[in-house]
Amino acid sequence: MESTDDQILEKIHRSPRGTLFFPDSFLGISNAKTVSKVLERLVQAGKLHRAATGIYLRPVEDEVVGVMLPGIEEIAEAIIKRDKARAVPTGSYALYKLGLSTQVPMNIVYYTDSSSRQVKIGKQTITFKKASAKNVSAIGEISRLVIQALRSIGKENVTSEEMQIIGEKLKNEKPYHLQHDIKVAPEWIRQLMRPYQHPNTND
């Protein structure tokens, strides 16, 4: 029979380079304590890279750049998927993703219905903040960002230029998702988003 090390390494090699792994990814092979020891040995042997505490990958290697690690957003999405959590970008990160800010945030923050935590990725940080169910109930990829971006800007500070950018983005949102998310937004944000509903939907 193959050793635990070989089974874990085989699973890693079957996955595309750049795939992120957690100790939980290998619990079908062995228990958590054994898996952690094997992953540590693979890191020390140079067969696996540790992206952050408890997060590993077999990195993509470029002939010019060398080892290419996943971005902080990709790691955040992998954590959300692993936890089967609902999460939505907030603050400066939501503003950046909508094009309302050109400054790339070094640290990104999500509201989540899972547990609060911080994950250090080099000099960057992913923060998950426990939020009420309503704060993570929006379902549209664009409209949920709009709600959080407007929260960050504040009711009295939203400019016509910002709403023009938001309006252009909302044209690409699925009508049902936009309709749903308007209903779960605070009233002042509903009023700003309603004009961008699809003509055949009702709030």
Residues above pLDDT 70, as percent of the chain: 97
Are 84 and 183 members of one domain?
A: yes
Residues 83 and 30 in one domain: no
Looking at the fold, whether 64 and 79 belong to one and the same domain comes out as no
Last residue in a domain, options 68, 85, 104? 68
Across the chain, mean pLDDT equals 91
Q: Please give the pLDDT value at position 123.
A: 87
Q: Which helix (H) or strand (E) holds 165?
A: helix 160-170
Predicted confidence band of residue 122 (pLDDT cuts 50, 70, 90):
confident
Q: What is the pLDDT of residues 98-121, one digit of tens each?
A: 999 998 888 999 999 999 999 998
Q: Once rounded to an integer, what is the mean pLDDT over residues 93-97?
A: 95
Residue 14 maps to which CATH number? 1.10.10.10
Output the pLDDT for position 201. Answer: 56
Range(s) of the domain holding residue 53: 4-68
In a domain, 202, yes or no: no
pLDDT tens digits for range 169-191: 999 999 999 999 999 999 999 99
- Quickly state the pLDDT bin for 85 (edges 50, 70, 90): very high
pLDDT of residue 22: 95
Whether residues 101 and 133 fall in one domain: yes
Same domain, 95 and 136: yes
Longest dimension (CA), the chain: 67
For residue 40, what is the enclosing H or E element? Answer: helix 32-44
Helix (H) or strand (E) holding 17: none
- Per-residue pLDDT tens digits for 20-47: 999 999 999 999 999 999 999 999 998 8
- Predicted model pTM: 0.82
The answer to whether the beta carbons of residues 105 and 93 sit under 8 Å apart is yes
Closest Cα partner for 10 from 25, 189, 176?
25
In a domain, 54, yes or no: yes
Q: Output the pLDDT for position 160.
A: 94
Residue 157: C-alpha distances to residues 89, 113, 117, 144, 203 (Å): 20, 28, 30, 19, 25
